[in-house]
Structure 1
Amino acid sequence: MTSRRDNRTLIRKGAALIAAVLLAATTLSACTKTDDEATTLESLREKGTVTVAFANEAPYSFEKDGDVTGGTIALHREVFKRLGVPNLKGVKTDWGGLIPGLNAKRYDLVSAGMSITPERCGQAAFSVPEINYTTALMVKPGNPMNLSNMDSVKKSGAKLAAMTGAIEADYAKELSIPNTMLVKDQQSGIDAVNSGRADVFALTAVSLKYAKDNTPGLNVEVTKPFIAVINGKEQNPAGATVFRKQDTSLRDAYNAEVKKILSDPAEYMRILGPFGFTKENIPDPSLTTEQLCSGK
């Protein structure tokens, strides 16, 4: 026969179990709410710091002398300073991990001049176009395979290096270029050509020119810039700042401020000019994020 003491013990244990289950459910609910909660300008102002991801691709965003710098970093420092967020912190991330890390809330936005594409628009939200750019090829001295664009790479059978997740890797896939070597970052692509493991490295023209001009002893050549043609259509890539889809108010506040810089060529050049960007990199005002997201 069960005693009253045993009954009281069972009741206490049952109550403790129920309390533990309720606490776990509450904690899980709180965590889920935090993960889904939008990052707002107000929350960044309270912290005083915006945290950005960068892929260490010069001259967009890269490390130098222990600090993060570059054209997009300078742009973001300026915009967020105007928005009342005085500090910027960088988190170095492989290119292919930029958007996944953003959606995991490891940082507030991506500062990498990332091209706006339909696939990426399905994963994240983009600002207005900020940087218009062309493609170039880094090749061995003398350009022995006479490479000039992506089609010439395919026809020559050259071994191509391209960054994982970068638009040049997409070009290679669309054109079915064989022998494509995917590398994690800009320096790995440069090293692949320099060491002979790859014949050519495709990247934005401004990136390759900056690397050539600012790396003493780098024994390579950079071809003239070109616009890639895929399935008979000229590509018109434009880079932008990347936000999480739920952070629409933060993106809208950012857009309102960055548009002032984009409409003022002198101000644009003051901020991005020191990193090799020119007025030609300012996107046409008629080019919209919506157009690029739709693939038109």
Structure 2
Amino acid sequence: MKATIAYIEEPPFGWTESNQATGADIELAEAVLRAIGATHIEHHLTTFSELLPGVEAGRWDMNVPLFVTPERASKVAFSVPVWAIGDGFLVRAGNPKGLNSYASLAERNDARLGIIAGQVQHESARASGVSEDQIVIFEEQSDAIDALRSGKIDAYASTAVGNRVLAGRIGGSVLEAIEHDTGTDDKQALPTGAFSFNKNNGRLLKAVNEQLRLYLGSPDHRIGMSKFGITYKEIDPVLVREAKLT
């Protein structure tokens, strides 16, 4: 069995290192695919905006996890959720404009927010009052980071855990990760991410789901994810939700 998975450059979930795909989502996909009989796994680097159209058109078999939304679910089939993660900002060290949520950014007309095209953070920002004039769209994460470092934008919106990893890699004296102040401790409300498939590829989806239900939350899974900064905070909420559904 051969399987091709598409990914994007977005540590800690997926990135290219020494011409090889690596990351938390890549490692999870490989563990699951091998368990269901895949003997050859290929990785296809693409952009975020091409993930859904690519798998929908059958150019590859599955995508790395992305946030599940009704609009996306109308185009592709999602697996069971594999993580639950809130949003956060990456800002310049010291957070000069005191940005700790979309609402706080919306209150400052001089604040500019960087977002990757097509990601859910765009709608979340708009729903919190951030105007389109305050939003700068990028195709690649690296471009957004460059804009942040140069001062063209004041914050980059992505997942809180992803921003923590980026800040650690770049250095705390340059950039700082800010987890959003949501005013609630309800972890069950966090948005979830899942692998996605062509809707006609039900056989692969079924096999992946069966293995995910066996593997998620296991010692091997937790140890593997911890290497990338994915902990019980991101894993346990989806296990609780899945348990309630079964």
Q: 1:131 aligns with which of 83, 98, 116?
A: 83
Q: How does 1:89-128 map to 2 (within 5 A)?
A: 89-111=42-64, 113-128=65-80
**Cα pair distance change 1:168/1:235, threshold 3 Å:** farther
After TM superposition, the runs of 4+ consecutive aligned structure 1 residues lying more than 6 A away are: none
- Determine the C-alpha separation between the residues in 2 that align with 1:227 and 1:188: 27
Q: After the TM superposition, which of the residue ranges 195-204 and 80-89 deviates more from structure 2?
A: 80-89
How far apart, CA to CA, are the structure 2 residues paired with 1:247 and 1:81?
18
Question: Matched residue pairs, number?
Answer: 236
Displacement after TM superposition at 1:218 (Å):
6.8
% same residue: 27
Question: Does residue 213 of structure 2 align to residue 250 of structure 1?
Answer: no
Give the structure-1-normalised TM-score: 0.75
Counterpart contact for 2:47–2:140, Cα < 8 Å: yes
2:228 equivalent to 1:284: no
Distance 1:238-1:227 versus aligned 2 partners, 3 A rule:
farther
Q: What is the 5 A alignment of 1:33-182?
A: 45=1, 49-111=2-64, 113-157=65-109, 158-178=111-131, 179-182=134-137
Amino acid at match of 2:91: V
Counterparts in 2 of 1:94 and 1:228: CA distance versus 1, 3 Å = farther
Query: By how many angstroms is 1:174 displaced?
Result: 2.7
- Aligned-partner Cα distance in 2 for 1:170–1:93: 22
**Which of 157, 162, 185 is the aligned partner of 1:207?**
162
Q: Secondary structure at the match of 2:241?
A: coil
Between Structure 1 and Structure 2, the one with more helix by share is 1
The match for 2:179 among 212, 220, 224 is 224
State how far apart, in whole Å, the 1-side matches of 2:103 and 2:203 are: 42
| Cα RMSD, aligned residues only | 2.0
Look up the equivalent residue of 2:147 and give its one-letter code. A
Aligned in 2, Cα 1:227/1:119: closer, same or farther, shift over 3 Å?
Answer: farther
Deviations, residues 198-256 of structure 1 (Å, cap 9, x unaligned) = 01101001111111112358711111344599xxxx95211110011111121111000
Larger RCO, structure (CA 8 Å, separation 6 or more):
2
Structure 1 contact 50–87 (Cα < 8 Å) conserved: yes
Distance in 2 (alpha carbons) for counterparts of 1:186 and 1:218? 20
Q: Which residue of 2 aligns with 1:186?
A: 141
- The structure with the larger Rg is 1
TM-score, normalised by the number of residues in structure 2: 0.89
| Unaligned residue ranges in structure 2 (runs of 5+) | none
